[in-house]
Amino acid sequence: MSGARATIFVCVSCRTPVEGSEDAFDKPGRALASDIAAHLRDAGASDIDVRPVECLAVCKRPCTIALAGENKWTYIAGDIAGAQAAEIAEAAQRFAASEDGIIPWKERPLCLRKGIVARVPPDTYRIAETLE
């Protein structure tokens, strides 16, 4: 992940309906990614990358983000609004500072508590028991 302690992937394919129109949609992911990056710059968090991606396959819950890091659990969250960019940036800093990527429940912003789609273990994860 290019030397970063964390990466925030932001879906730029997600569409939200434009109020008052049945056929028009906004794609707010690019603005969300830009806003998160600005908050991270303001906080001096140069160890966190923000990367727009074409699709995170959570289309029913736009906007979707993923917090990932080497040897860390990955969080995937949907229903993220642009107004939550600062909360996501703050959570990403906690994520980056953690050893395993686990953000304690009470330290997660509400959008991550309610918006979690999945938490995926790192490929290095092992449990004590084996399957045979």
**pLDDT (tens digit, 0 to 9) for every residue of the chain, 132 residues total?**
445 799 999 999 988 888 888 888 888 999 999 999 999 999 999 999 999 999 999 999 999 999 999 999 999 999 999 899 999 999 999 999 999 999 999 999 999 999 999 999 998 887 766 666
- Say what the pTM is: 0.88
> Alpha helices, DSSP H only, in the chain?
29-42, 85-97, 110-115
* Domains of the chain listed by start with CATH number: 6-120 (3.40.30.10)
How many angstroms separate the Cα of 47 from the Cα of each of 43, 66, 115, 123?
11, 16, 24, 21
Residue 109 in contact with residue 74, Cβ under 8 Å? Answer: no
Where do the DSSP E strands lie in the chain? 6-11, 16-17, 25-26, 48-53, 65-68, 74-77, 116-120
Q: 36: how many CB neighbours lie within 10 A of its CB?
A: 24
**Token pair belonging to 69:** 């890091």
Residue 66 in contact with residue 12, Cβ under 8 Å? Answer: no
pLDDT of residue 52: 97
1-12 per-residue burial string, b: 16 or more CB within 10 A, e: under 16: eeebbbbbbbbb
